[in-house]
Chain A
Amino acid sequence: MGEQELPGVLILEIGGECGVLESHVAFLRKHFSLITMKEFLQNKEKWSEKTESIFVFERRPVIDRELLESLPNLKVIGNSGVGVNHLDLKLISSFGVKVTNTPHAVSDSTADIGMALMLASARRLVEGYHIAVSPDTKDFAVDWLGVEVTRATLGIIGMGSIGYKVAKRAKAFDMKILYHNRSQRKEKEEQAVGAVYCKKIEDLLQQSDFVMLVVNLTPETHKLIGKRELEFMKPTATLINICRGAVVDQDALVEALQNGVIRAAALDVTYPEPLPRDHPLLKLKNVTLTPHIGTATVKALRMMTEEAVDNILAVLQDLPVPSEVIPK
């Protein structure tokens, strides 16, 4: 079977800043004829009819009306990752193109990062590291303390697959688990992780020692956590964000952290990413920032590519699509 017979998939590029990983290329080439944006732009006539799918990795290539109009045979956009807030779902749907994401591949590694950030923040791990290696350190202070994670109260906002996996992990630390979600989970599911439903987000905010955000970014969740919500939180509480920066009102967060409205924050995601180098969040002592590494493991990225490929192939072969994202 020559490469010409494989369906065409458009990608941004291989390697580089945000291109598809070189180590994934061989796998992709088993199923697809790979077309980079550079090749496409150089020879639109040749490639536009062959392009039946787009593999979006690290939010590229950017999908706009112009691109959609130039791909008459496009059937599916397979996104690597679960968040699709960077895609205009209505626009894409209007061209009769399906969108798929990779919820299964991301859930374990993202839940792990949530736990990693909660523990690192509570125990002041990064600060501690700097003390341990600083040339100025003469002794380790005995009264230098963090906060306890075991038996503390964790409030999970967004109890989808990732939120539920966080609950499972937190339960092993004997944490009391509260959760807020669009809909309540089944009783069996709640009992398995000892999670208590808070219909009102304020109840969760008021009782939690750690608040973890694990929601999709949609118009409804944009700035879900603002000044009011931060003020509901305990002054000893920590906010952890592992979903999307825009779920938090960043200016309100800066103010809350500067004024002790909450104790600390640990953020894997911000708006934008990276933040401008003079942003106040970079200077605050009570913030732990990581560069959106929720799925940054060899295993997770590999699984994301595989899941995206499965979804793309299902659409092209007219089979049931495991993870189609339907616009509301």
Chain B
Amino acid sequence: MKEYIKNKKDLSHKIKAIYMWWHKPAVDSEFLQSLPNLKVITSSGVGVDHLDLKLISSFGVKVANTPHAVSNPTADMGMALLLASARRIVEGCEIAVSSDTKYFEADWLGEEVTGATLGIIGMGSIGYKVAQRAKAFDMKILYHNRNQRKQEEEQAVGAIYCKKMDDLLQQSDFVMLIVSLTPETHKLIGKRELELMKPTATLINICRGPVVDQDALVHALQNGVIKAAAVDVTYPEPLPRDHPLLKLKNIIITPHIGSATSKSRWVMMENMVENILSGVNGLPLPNEVHP
């Protein structure tokens, strides 16, 4: 971008692709207008809620993301958060290293994961991989999705479809959110949904902060409406340092590290290069995102 800004006249016609790593460089109407030969924008990660897809498409530019690169590490992160929350790993670490600790209390207990009920909201690639992992813990798996999956897919992970999200909320010990952020899923989980959940249940969010009504979540956690939460994503990121979520004892927050492994970043890069080459050569994009 530095070089481009110094030399727009020469470079603007040469730019055929934008490699957007963690939302940068950002694109707006002005920027798109100045790149007459732009064919493709590849965005790292799977979420495209930061892009105005209609606007970009109006310039005849294609958009691609990297869904496959993120699905394994994000599913792993979902399980990591579920286990860390249930077994109170963060609190446990603090006790283990605290200068005040004299002995380990016998009556300090967490919640069993094996055999518990996991409700997955959003059964795309990541959701399905979470189900595969959870099945090995003998968890009972419920899921809610725009469409029901094929029977063989359901049977392979022992997942039961809940056409009504309310049914899933009422029966789950762990509720995991794995949906794309769209106008339909914005504040999908609010006061009403949290109240439908069991008071002993845990909410896990590994997709996007705005899928949850954060104020309602604060209230629910403060008042024991649900037991706990574990979120890799918030709105905004990071949260303001005086935000109530940072002070609550019954929430684990991680800094959006769902795909933060060296391996996945490498694969993302490879995917992005592949999509750029296809786009620049007029071939179909392996991972095109349509508005």
Residues of chain A touching chain B, judged by Cβ–Cβ distance below 8 Å, are 15, 17-19, 21, 57-58, 108-109, 111-113, 115-117, 119-120, 122-126, 128-129, 131-133, 135, 137-140, 142, 144-151, 168-174, 273-274, 277, 282, 288-293, 296-301
The reply to whether B87 and A173 contact each other, CB–CB distance below 8 Å, is no
Q: Return chain A residues, CB-CB under 8 Å to B136.
A: 168-172
Knowing A120-B89, A173-B133, say if A274 contacts B101 (CB, 8 Å): yes
Q: Shortest CB–CB separation between residue A267 and chain B, in angstroms? A: 9
Q: Which residues of B contact A126 (CB under 8 A)?
A: 89-90, 93
Given contacts A125-B89, A145-B262, A289-B93, contact A297 B112 (CB under 8 A): yes
B103 contact from A15, A116, A274, A297, Cβ within 8 A: A274
The reply on B11 being an interface residue by CB < 8 A is no
Set A119, A140, A289: member contacting B255, Cβ < 8 A:
A140
Contact of A172 among B133, B237, B257 (CB under 8 A): B133
Cβ A297 vs Cβ B110 within 8 A = yes
Q: Which residues of B contact A120 (CB under 8 A)?
A: 80, 83-84, 89
Contact B83 A119, beta carbon cutoff 8 Å: yes
Least Cβ–Cβ distance between B234 and chain A, in angstroms? 8
Residues on B with C-beta less than 8 A from A172 are 132-136
B181 CB → nearest A CB, Å = 18
Q: In the complex the two chains form, is B76's CB within 8 Å of A132's CB?
A: no
B5 at the interface (CB under 8 A from A): no
**Interface stretch (choices B48-56, B58-66, B188-196, B246-254):** B246-254
Query: Which residues of the partner chain B approach A122 to less than 8 Å between Cβ atoms?
Result: 76, 80
* One of A57, A112, A128 near B254 (C-beta < 8 A): A128
A-B contact pairs, 29 of them (CB 8 A): A17-B103, A58-B106, A108-B112, A112-B86, A112-B87, A112-B114, A116-B83, A125-B81, A125-B84, A125-B90, A129-B90, A132-B254, A137-B255, A145-B262, A146-B257, A146-B261, A147-B263, A148-B72, A148-B263, A150-B73, A150-B76, A170-B136, A171-B136, A172-B132, A172-B134, A291-B96, A292-B104, A293-B110, A297-B87
Task: Please tell me if the beta carbons of B101 and A298 are within 8 angstroms of each other in the complex.
Answer: no
Give the complex CA separation of A187 and B260 in angstroms.
37
Q: Is the CB of B22 within 8 A of A299?
A: no
B21 at interface, CB cutoff 8 A: yes
Is B256 positioned at the interface, with any CB of A under 8 Å from its CB?
A: yes
Scoring B residues 107 to 138 as 1 if CB is less than 8 Å from chain A, else 0, what string do you get? 11111111100000000000000001111111
Q: List B residues 88-106 near A (Cβ within 8 Å).
A: 88-90, 92-93, 95-97, 99, 101-106
Given A21-B106, A132-B238, A145-B265: A150 in contact with B72 (beta carbons within 8 A): yes
Contact A17 B106 (CB under 8 A): yes
Q: Which residues of A contact B111 (CB under 8 A)?
A: 297-298
- B156 → chain A closest CB, angstroms: 11
Q: With A and B bound together, what is the CA distance between A140 and B254 in angstroms?
A: 10
Are A288 and B93 CB-contacts (below 8 A) given A21-B107, A108-B114?
A: yes
Of all chain A residues, the one with the shortest Cβ separation from B96 is: A289
Residues on B lying within 8 angstroms of A by beta carbon are 21-22, 72-73, 75-77, 79-81, 83-84, 86-90, 92-93, 95-97, 99, 101-115, 132-138, 237-239, 241, 246, 252-257, 260-265
CB distance from B177 to the nearest CB of A (A): 17
> How far is B93's CA from A112's CA once the two chains are assembled, in angstroms?
16
Query: Given contacts A145-B262, A296-B110, A297-B87, are A131 and B255 in contact (CB under 8 A)?
Result: yes
How many Å lie between the Cα of A128 and that of B80 in the bound state? 12
A119 to B134, CA, bound (A): 14
Closest partner residue, chain A, to B71 (CB atom): A150
Docked CA distance A239–B126 (Å): 28
Assembled-state Cα–Cα distance A172/B138 (Å) = 11
> In whole angstroms, what is the CA distance A172 to B137 when docked?
9
On whether A299 and B112 interact (CB within 8 A), knowing A145-B261, A148-B76, the answer reads yes
Contact of B95 among A17, A115, A147, A291 (CB under 8 A): A291
Contact B241 A137 (CB under 8 A): yes
Q: Beyond the given A282-B97, A297-B111, could you list 7 further A-B residue pairs with CB under 8 A, ordered by the A residue number?
A: A116-B84, A122-B76, A124-B257, A129-B252, A148-B73, A148-B261, A148-B263
Q: Residues of B contacting A273 with CB < 8 Å? A: 104
Contacts of A124 in B (CB 8 A): 257
Provide the bound-state CA to CA distance between A245 and B86, in Å: 24
Of all chain A residues, which has the CB nearest B246?
Answer: A133
Query: In the complex the two chains form, is B108's CB within 8 Å of A293's CB?
Result: yes
Q: Are B137 and A169 in contact (CB under 8 A)?
A: yes
Are B106 and A113 in contact (CB-based, < 8 A)? no
